[in-house]
Amino acid sequence: MANHGPWILGIGASFHNGAVCLLRGNEVVVAIQEERLSRRKREAIAAGMPCLSIPYCLDFAGIQPGDLDLVVSCPILLPWNLVEQDVGLNPLLRIHAHGTPVLTIPHHLGHAIGAFATSGMTDAAVLVIDGSGSFFQYLPENERGVALRPSDTAGEHISTYHITEHSVRPLEKQLSQFDYLLQPDFSRMLPFASLGHMFSSTAAQIFGNYFDAGKVMGLAPHGSPNFPPSAFYNVKDGEFEFLDHVPERFQHADRWPLRQNEYANLAASVQRALEEALLSIVSRLRDHGASPRLCYAGGVALNSVANERIMRESGYQDVFIMPAAEDSGTAIGAAYYGLWHLTGSLRGHRQVSDAMGRSYASDQVSIALEKVPGVRTAKSMDVLEEAAARLDAGQILGWFDGGSEFGPRALGSRSILCDPRRIDGKTVLNARVKHRESFRPFAPAVLLEHAASWFKVDPNNFESPFMLRVCEFVDDKSLLVPSVVHVDRTGRVQTVDASAHPRFHQLITCFFDLTGVPMILNTSFNVMGEPIVENPSDALWSLLIMDLDCCVFPDRIVARDPGVSSLLDLYPFIVAPRVCLEIPVEGQCLQPEACANWVGVLHDERYGARRSDENGAVDLALLRLIDGRQTGRAIYCLLRENLSRTNGEKEILFRFADLRRRGIVMFSPEPRPGTGIL
């Protein structure tokens, strides 16, 4: 490598979205979220425990743990998790054996430094807002000194800093008590004590998932605010006091699609409350006079509707929002903090691409093709022109190119693509491909040079490379691309620059030449509830699970075999080295006939061993029918009366897919007798 600086490993050891980043000097060599490897959505990492991301990063760089000059962890420390967050105990790193130095930094500092280092700025005011971060008792002295209401049992949720390439100065920190998370009662709307949890509480009430804040943002334009911001919080001298007025109105556990009008109005109310809160916070930070430039991170920074208001109304000369704004971004912050510690410099580069994962060569795609049944390479003279023609013909494509994205958005490396002109595009993608709620919008990926002709933006100063801004369409243009126009006539814009994403830019250019439309619909290459695909094998298996027409790799297009419409047309067989049919109750081992709710499996992954616990009577019934002699569709027919009438086939397809991801079941195009478990 040309860069001969120190090797620094950063670990984002949060309760969700765990990640690892490897630096060489001030260059990111590779970064990966744990979920992309474990295939478990929002998988956490504990700094003192084995994970898949550490060997993934070291393997890509071709180095060993002993080659590291520094390891920096960014955990959320609590009195009961100190041991599991001790990097010195991690058997993958063997810190003490190698004599590798170790540092630990608080959560918001990891967010802040990650945002600044990837902004390319020389100085900036930095804002961090999320659900909750490090507790006061684990903060360094300089950060304790700026806390507005110190308490050892309170955690950070709003922090501001002034950072230059040589210094980090905390400005202000707001703390809250988060007792409601210790024993959450989801039979009613949870209280909240931060802006992040305000959105999470709303998401849990509407959709039953505390992490579905993005759905709330998508639902908001379908409603009208009926709760004012003052029903959610009071603000005095810049400090937030959160109220229970709204949770007290929802003393029930009705979930979407029940109460649709009521929940759309709730979503609209919380969205407006968030926007007004953010503008107030940003104004207070600007008045501090730290810098005319702003960096912003934390989970709340993924709200692209609020981000657009910050971009337009904050008064800052330059605003940079980190694409990996949620907890995975703290891995980058931890690594750059290590660079500052070793060299005295925090200077990074302006991030123009989020493709921080490893790339996969053509021969690796070929190996995956040999191992994944039911798929084949389709004839193509020119991959990009053929892909554009398929889009023009109405096909829906998987797109696999370069290194995987590190943040939560698919930006042209691991994407699903569709013609934005399709009137039914949004409906088909939500119902048949993504399998998610019908109201959820899709993003337009537009050639940067044409963005100002399609959106109401400053033609001389507009870019949105990370899908973190929402802009209104030019009136007459919105009618041409109905699949990417939200109900409020906006789109979550991704601008595509030829220098940052050359092949993706070429594809959209080919589509533009065919259609006169310089954009395509872009969404993440996954189904609802699953992580985005990471490697060629993930992509090919997804082709068998999702209603895609083909998958486009850099040098080939892959489609399903004739007669194979999905995974259900193949023959499943057991491959797990151990299947234990028992309920683990106080060490008692029960007979298979006595248990209906637990299946445990131990299996190997390329980057480490994992244990999976599979719950549910349907899983057990499914495993007992898998004998290698009958197709998945035949098994579905045997179980059909126990499944949903409307979504039974989809349900069984996803259960098969889940067993395959966990290493329990594999599939063959031909029968495999004698591969059952009973």
| Token representation of residue 615 | 């719950």
Residues 124, 100 share a domain: no
With cut-offs at 50, 70 and 90, classify the pLDDT of residue 516: very high
pLDDT tens, 400-436?
999 999 999 999 999 999 999 999 999 999 998 998 9
Q: Strand, coil or helix: what is 523? A: strand
With cut-offs at 50, 70 and 90, classify the pLDDT of residue 585: very low
pLDDT tens, 166-214?
999 999 999 999 999 999 999 999 999 999 999 999 999 999 999 999 9
Specify whether the CB–CB gap between 51 and 127 falls below 8 A. no
Residues 177, 68 share a domain: no
Residues 527, 470 share a domain: yes
Quickly list DSSP for 78-136.
Answer: -TTSTTTT-GGG-TTT-HHHHT--EEE--HHHHHHHHHHHTTT-SEEEEEEE-S---BG
pLDDT tens, 149-174?
999 999 999 999 999 999 999 999 99
DSSP state of 572: E
Residues 422, 481: Cα–Cα separation, whole Å = 7
DSSP state of 404: P
Q: Tell how strand 443-447 and strand 519-524 pair up.
A: antiparallel
Residues 555, 576 share a domain: no
Last residue of a domain, one of 535, 560, 585: 560
C-alpha distance from residue 261 to each of 223, 231, 266, 427, 558 (Å): 7, 19, 9, 20, 43
Residue 222 lies in a domain: yes
With cut-offs at 50, 70 and 90, classify the pLDDT of residue 591: very low
Residues contacting residue 479 through CB under 8 Å, at least 6 positions apart: none
pLDDT at 453: 97
Average pLDDT, the chain: 92
Residue 663 lies in a domain: yes
Residues facing residue 169 across a β-bridge = 162
The CATH number that applies at residue 384 is 3.90.870.20
Residue 576 lies in a domain: yes
Taking 60 as the threshold, does the pLDDT of residue 295 lie above it? Answer: yes
Query: Domain of 585?
Result: 567-668
**What residue type is assigned to position 258 of the chain?**
L
Residue 348 lies in a domain: no
Residue 536 lies in a domain: yes
Whole-structure pTM value: 0.94
With cut-offs at 50, 70 and 90, classify the pLDDT of residue 677: low
The CATH number that applies at residue 124 is 3.30.420.40
Residues 609, 588 share a domain: yes
Residues contacting residue 2 through CB under 8 Å, at least 6 positions apart: none
pLDDT tens, 600-644?
555 556 677 655 554 444 467 788 899 999 999 999 999 888 777
Last residue of a domain, one of 560, 590, 612: 560
Residues contacting residue 129 through CB under 8 Å, at least 6 positions apart: 157, 158, 195, 196, 278, 281, 296, 298, 299, 300, 301
Residues 397, 303 share a domain: no
Count of the separate structural domains present in the chain: 4
pLDDT tens, 659-673?
888 788 999 999 998
Q: Strand, coil or helix: what is 480? A: helix
Last residue of a domain, one of 534, 560, 586: 560
pLDDT at 87: 97
Residues 555, 573 share a domain: no
Provide, rounded to the nearest whole percent, the portion of the chain with pLDDT above 70: 93
Residues 242, 148 share a domain: yes
Other C-beta atoms closer than 10 Å to the C-beta of 300 total 28
The CATH number that applies at residue 594 is 3.90.930.60
Q: Edge-to-edge strand order for the sheet containing 27-33? A: 27-33, 19-24, 7-13, 70-75, 102-104
Residues 110, 333: Cα–Cα separation, whole Å = 4
Residues 29, 145 share a domain: no
pLDDT tens, 560-569?
999 999 999 9
Residue 677 lies in a domain: no
Residues 624, 486 share a domain: no
Specify whether the CB–CB gap between 311 and 338 falls below 8 A. no
Residue 354 lies in a domain: no
Residue 76 lies in a domain: yes
Residues contacting residue 152 through CB under 8 Å, at least 6 positions apart: 135, 136, 137
Q: Is the peptide bond prior to 247 cis by the omega test (within 30 degrees of 0)?
A: no
- Rounded to an integer, the average pLDDT of 494-517 is 98
Residues 251, 189 share a domain: yes
pLDDT tens, 27-37?
999 999 999 99
| Token representation of residue 9 | 């490993």
Residues 293, 146 share a domain: yes
